[in-house]
Structure 1
Amino acid sequence: MPADRLLPDDESAAIVALARDFAAAELAPRAAAAEEAGAFPRELFRELGRLGILGMPYPEELGGGGQSYEVYLQALEELGGAWASVGVGVSVHVMSCYPLATWGSDEQRERWLGELLAGDLLGAYALSEAEAGSDPGAMRARATRVADGYRLDGSKAWVTHGGEADFYTLFARTSKDRARGISCFLVPGDAPGLAAQAPERKMGLTGSTTATVDLDAVALDADRVIGAEGDGLSIALQALDSGRLGIAAVAVGVAQAALDHAVAYARERRTFGKAIIDHQGLGFLLADMAAATACARGVMLDAARRRDRGLPFSQQASIAKLVATDTAMKVTTDAVQVLGGYGYTKEFPVERLMREAKVMQIFEGTNQIQRLVIARHLARGAGR
Structure 2
Amino acid sequence: MEDAEKRELPSYSRAEVSKHNSHESNWIVVDDFVYDVTKFAKFHPGGKQFIDRVAGSDSTNAFYKYHRRDVLETVAKKFRIGCIREEERRKGKERTLEKKKGDLELVPYAEPAAFAPSVSGKPTSLYYNETHVKFRKACRLFFDTHVAPTCVKADENGEHPTKEVYELLGKNGLLVARMPKGPWMRDVVENCGVELLGGVHVNEFDSFHELIAHEETCRLGVPGYVDGLGAGLVIGLPPVLQFGRPDVARTVGREVLLGKKRICLAISEPAAGSDVAGLQTIATKDPSTGDYIVNGVKKWITNGQFSDYFTTAVKMQDGTFSLLLIDRAWGGVDTKPIKTSYSPSAGTAYVTYENVRVPKEYLLGKEGKGFMYVMFNFNHERWYIVAGTNAANRLVLAECFKWANQRIVFGKKLIEQPVIRGKLAIMAAQIEAVQAWTEQITHQMNVLSHEEQSVVLAGPIALLKFFCTRVANLVSDEACQIFGGRAITRTGMGRIIEAFQKSNKFAAILGGSEEIMADLGIRQAMKHMPNARL
Unaligned residue ranges in structure 2 (runs of 5+):
1-109, 116-124, 190-195, 197-201
> Aligned pair 1:15/2:138, yes or no?
no
Query: 2:483 matched to 1:339?
Result: yes
Question: Per-residue displacement from partner, 1:214-261 (whole Å, max 9, x unpaired)?
Answer: 000111111000101011111111111101111111111111111111
Q: Write out aligned runs for 1:13-92 (5 A).
A: 13-43=133-163, 44-56=165-177, 57-59=180-182, 60-63=185-188, 66=202, 67-82=205-220, 83-89=222-228, 90-92=230-232
1:164 aligned residue: 306
Render the CA deviation track for 1:337-370: whole Å, top value 9, x for unaligned: 1111222212222111111212111111111111
Counterpart amino acid of residue 524 in structure 2: H
Which SS does the other structure have where 2:159 is aligned?
coil
Alignment CA distance shift 1:324-1:206 (3 Å): farther
TM-score, normalized by length of structure 1?
A: 0.92
Are the counterparts in 2 of residues 131 and 139 from structure 1 also a CA contact under 8 Å?
A: yes
Task: Decide whether aligned partners of structure 1 residues 238 and 382 sit closer, same or farther in structure 2, where only a CA change above 3 A counts.
Answer: farther
Distance 1:50 1:260 in 2: 31
Q: CA offset at residue 14 of structure 1?
A: 2.0
Tell me if the contact between 1:175 and 1:182 (Cα under 8 Å) persists in the aligned partners.
no
Residue 322 of structure 2 corresponds to residue 183 of structure 1: yes
Kindly indicate whether the alpha-carbon contact (under 8 Å) linking 1:205 and 1:356 is maintained by their aligned counterparts in 2: no
Q: 2:151–2:225: 8 Å Cα contact kept in structure 1?
A: no
Tell me: CA distance 1:39–1:79, structure 2 relative to 1, closer, same or farther (3 Å): same
185-194 or 83-92, which moves further after superposition? 83-92
Partner of 1:370: 517
Superposed, which structure 2 residues align to 1:135-174 within 5 Å?
135-146=275-286, 147-148=288-289, 149-174=291-316
Larger deviation, residues 21-30 vs 132-141:
21-30
Give the greater-gyration-radius structure (CA).
2
1:107-126 alignment runs, 5 A limit: 107-126=247-266
Alpha-carbon distance change, 330 to 165 in structure 1, aligned in 2, over 3 angstroms? same
TM-score by length of 2: 0.67
Q: 1:256 aligns with which of 389, 394, 400?
A: 394
What is residue 381 of structure 2 aligned with on the other side? 243
Aligned to 1:105: 245
Name the counterpart of 2:443.
305
1:364 aligns to what SS in structure 2? coil
CA contact (8 A) 2:156 2:343 kept: no
Contact 1:194–1:216, Cα closer than 8 Å, also in 2: yes
Taking the aligned partners of 2:300 and 2:312, their CA distance within structure 1 comes to 12
Runs of 4+ in structure 1 deviating by more than 4 angstroms, as ranges, are: none
**What is the number of residues matched between the two proteins?**
379
- Per mean C-alpha deviation after superposition, the further-off stretch among 36-45 and 286-295 is 36-45
Is the CA contact 1:299–1:319 (under 8 Å) kept in the aligned structure 2?
A: no
In the alignment, is the contact (CA less than 8 A) between 1:152 and 1:219 conserved in 2? yes
CA contact (8 A) 1:76 1:87 kept: no
Structure 1 unaligned segments of length 5 or more: list them. Answer: none
Aligned partners of 2:171, 2:503: CA distance in 1, in Å? 27
| Alignment equivalent of 2:234, drawn from 76, 89, 94 | 94
Change (3 A) 1:87 1:77: farther
Equivalent residue for 1:229?
367
What is residue 319 of structure 1 aligned with on the other side? Answer: 463
C-alpha separation between the residues in 1 aligned to 2:472 and 2:146? 23
Q: Deviations over 1:167-226 (max 9, x none)?
A: 11111112333xxx11111111222101112x1111124321111110001111110001
CA distance in 2, matches of 1:261, 1:124: 32
Give CA deviations for 1:104-155 in whole Å, capped at 9, x if unaligned: 2323323322222222221100011111111111111111111221111111
Counterpart in the other structure of 1:273: 411
**127 and 308 in structure 1: CA distance in 2 versus 1, 3 angstrom threshold:** same
Amino acid aligned to 1:366: S
Report the Cα distance in structure 1 between the residues aligned to 2:239 and 2:505, rounded to whole angstroms: 28
Give the corresponding residue for 2:67.
none
Q: Does 1:328 align with 2:472?
A: yes
Q: In structure 1, what is the Cα distance between the partners aligned to 2:389 and 2:422?
A: 22
- SS of the residue corresponding to residue 158 of structure 1 reads strand
Secondary structure, aligned partner of 1:187? strand
- Offset of residue 86 of structure 1: 4.5
Structure with the greater relative contact order (CA < 8 A, sep ≥ 6): 1 or 2? 1
Sequence identity (%): 22
Name the structure 2 match of 1:360.
507
Q: Do structure 1's residue 206 and structure 2's residue 341 form an aligned pair?
A: no
- The 3-state SS of whatever aligns with 1:216 is strand
Relative to 1, partners in 2 of residues 1:306 and 1:244: Cα closer, same or farther, differing over 3 Å? Answer: same
- Contact 1:45/1:119, CA 8 A, preserved across alignment: yes
RMSD: 2.0
